Amino acid sequence: MNIVVCVKYVPDAQSERTFDSDNTTDRVGVDGLLSEIDEYAVEEALKIVEASDGEVTVVTMGPAQAADAVKKALQMGAHKGVHVSDEALHGSDAPATSLVLAEAIRKIGAPDLVITGMASTDGIMSVVPAMLAERLGLPQVTFASELTVEGDTVTIRRDGDVASETIVASLPALVSVTDQINEPRYPSFKGIMAAKKKPVEQWGLADLGVDAGQVGLDAAWTKVTEFAKRPPREKGTIVVDEGDGGTKLAEFLSAQKFL
Amino acid sequence: MSEVLVLVDHADGVVRKSTFELLTLARRLGDPSAVFVGEGGEAAAESLARYGAAKVYVVADPDVTAYLVAPQAEVLAQLVEQVSPAAVLVPASSVGKEVAARLAVKTGSGLITDAVDVRAGGEGVETTQSVFAGSYTVTATVTRGTPIIAVKPNSATPEEASAAGEVVPVEVSISDAAKAARITDTQPKKATGRPELTEAAIVVSGGRGTGGDFGPVEAFADSLGAAVGASRAAVDAGWYPHSNQVGQTGKQVSPQLYVAAGISGAIQHRAGMQTSKTIVAVNKDEEAPIFELVDFGVVGDLFNVLPQATEAVKAAKG
Ligand SMILES: Cc1cc2nc3c(=O)[nH]c(=O)nc-3n(C[C@H](O)[C@H](O)[C@H](O)COP(=O)(O)OP(=O)(O)OC[C@H]3O[C@@H](n4cnc5c(N)ncnc54)[C@H](O)[C@@H]3O)c2cc1C
């Protein structure tokens, strides 16, 4: 079983996230890390491979710092890394990102499974997995809170709004996972040492046969025309409960016409 | 005027409120045409017409309904090809966004997700989004293909505008590849009688501070006619279903009123509720970060505050 896990390097949500002068997300001037939701994808891949055999390759597309996201996944136990980086990629939108990742996955070789997180912690769009499945022509089984691989089928459970569904697809397939699926491991000291010797390929667009005109800010299919920082919420009223906290709460709701 | 395709969100034929919101927004861009996938399209056409659908495309083919996202994207791609719409609006649910994602790649069209407003702008369809846990507002346009916009629930007030609602059955041919992922079992959720979380005007959420007893949270929610949400800590502990989780990896809600009880206000929780109009918190710890967001906060034990508030609300409502 060979698995490719797509991971993203994102600005740390605990830090001040902002935009660059060209209206793209600032990915350089802020602290970044492996998108936390992707840790669940790496963990799930490792569990599957540990229970059978095969290799886990992590692939990321992003600036030089994104190497940290690959490193973290290798420290957790992934076998190989691929870092796609190119000046021309700056400002790429989801269609371009999925194009590049799809070509990278083709170059890595036909995996049995492609696993991603359900969304990145910065964009929270949840569209790249579906776009990847479309581009690779793979069955798409997304938002898995449970996953089992048996023979050449993958089965997942997905918690929808009105029902919990069981979905079956034949391999190869693309799966995205939620944070319900497992408990990601912390890299062990041994894992951290071992990661230093693991191979990480550096690919540019030319290596993937992707034309620079198809990616980046200028080729984006959407354009941010304006952004504005929301004014901070005005400081609210805070009362300490002295036996009448509930009554005061109801009075506030009544004054605001919620009753 | 051009058609604007609106993908109908429905549960077994019952059209969700978010669809009426989309139809209302679609009228700003052209003539709304509803796209209904599943059984019950003809019956639903009446309500869709009431909110402005001039046409209702109905697709009841089992090749579409028994499978997941991919066939729906193929249906929409066929319609986009046929009618060259001014835009395609879909609900920003997880399925809606994935349908939109595949449609965008299929048709080479720009996609904007989680829009909270859609309008006709100088450079075509213009949208507003709220990003980075609600700390920024972004205006964006689509620069290629047919604008595909996934719109968040509660982004508009549904307004009636009677239209023809002509039912148009659609013949589709679905590729084998699109049928590769199959739903083999469906366990319906227990009906609670409460409004749907992402659609509700009021949401009352409980966290680790409930200690597992959601009784006071539910009672308060019911007094207000609200939906019940939960923090991930409460979900992870098994106290409430994951489908009720609010936050980065749960639902993103934007109600008129959000009440957080026994929730500290972690950044991942905020990502799901920060755009709520009015925010109220009940927390024992006056230092809890949730208090930075609130319009009204009570520092106190939720087991005292909520039952008292519930009684006061009931009394006020008579
Ligand atoms: C990848 C990732 C994704 C995540 N996604 C989400 C998400 O979608 N949604 C989400 O909510 N979290 C999410 N989290 C988790 C988040 O970081 C927090 O751990 C979580 O929100 C904490 O839940 P809580 O506020 O209920 O618990 P705590 O942080 O433990 O807070 C409990 C609060 O209850 C108060 N309290 C205790 N007893 C009482 C009482 N009797 N009366 C009143 N107050 C009381 C305490 O003072 C405290 O402030 C995610 C984390 C990660 C890493």
Write down the ipTM of this complex. 0.89
Q: Choose which CATH entry (3.40.50.360, 3.40.50.620, 3.40.50.2030, 3.30.420.10) describes domain B3-179.
A: 3.40.50.620
Give the pLDDT mean for B43-69.
91
Within chain B, all domains assigned CATH 3.40.50.620 are found at: 3-179
Chain A residues within an 8 Å CB radius of B280:
249, 252-253
The predicted model gives B160-186 an average pLDDT of: 91
pLDDT tens figures, B279-292: 999 999 999 999 99
Per-residue pLDDT band at A120 (split at 50, 70, 90): confident
Domain with CATH 3.40.50.1220 in chain B: 202-317
Domain assignment of residue A41, given as a range: 2-219
- Residue B224 CA, ligand 1 centroid: distance in Å: 23
CATH number at residue A125: 3.40.50.620
Task: Please tell me chain A's helix, strand, coil percentages from 3-state DSSP, rounded to the nearest 5.
Answer: 30, 30, 40
Q: What sign has the CA pseudo-torsion B150, A129, B274, A250?
A: positive
Beta carbons of A121 and B248 less than 8 Å apart: yes
Instruction: Categorize the per-residue pLDDT at B12 as very low, low, confident or very high, splitting at 50, 70 and 90.
Output: confident
B192 lines ligand 1 (CB under 6 A): no
Q: A182: Cβ–Cβ under 8 A, 6 or more apart, which residues? A: A40, A43, A44, A47
Alpha helices in chain A (DSSP H): 36-51, 67-76, 94-108, 128-136, 189-195, 205-208, 245-255
Please tell me which residue, A112 or B183, carries the higher pLDDT value. Answer: A112
B299 known ligand binder: no
Indicate if the pLDDT at residue A29 is higher than 80.
no
Tell me whether residue A248 is in a domain: no
Query: Going by CA atoms, what residue is nearest to atom 53 of ligand 1?
Result: A36
Q: Kindly give the distance from the C-alpha atom of residue B266 to the centroid of ligand 1, in angstroms, as a whole number.
A: 6
Is A184 part of a structural domain of the chain?
Answer: yes
User: What pLDDT, in 10s, does the model give residues B215-265?
Assistant: 999 999 999 999 999 999 999 999 999 999 999 999 989 899 999 999 999
What confidence category does residue A203 fall into, taking pLDDT thresholds of 50, 70 and 90? Answer: very high
pTM, to two decimals: 0.91
What mean pLDDT is reported for chain A?
Answer: 92
CA of B110 to the centre of ligand 1 (A): 36
Distance to chain B for A85, nearest Cα, Å: 22
Total residue length of chain A: 259
Residue B264 in marked binding region = yes
B306 CB within 8 Å of a chain A CB: yes
Confidence of residue A28 (pLDDT cuts 50, 70, 90): low
Q: Say if residue B11's pLDDT is above 90.
A: no
More confident residue, A148 or A93: A148
* Domain contains A230: no
Report chain A residues whose CB lies below 8 A from the CB of B126.
225
What CATH fold (topology level) applies to the domain B202-317? Rossmann fold (3.40.50)
Q: Is the pLDDT of residue A27 over 70?
A: no
Measured CA to CA, the distance from residue B238 to residue B196 in angstroms comes to: 20
Residue B290 marked as a ligand binder: no
Mind listing the pLDDT tens digit for each residue in B119-136? 999 889 999 998 876 778
What's the total number of domains in chain A? 1
Dihedral Cα B107, B112, B118, B119, nearest 10 deg? -60
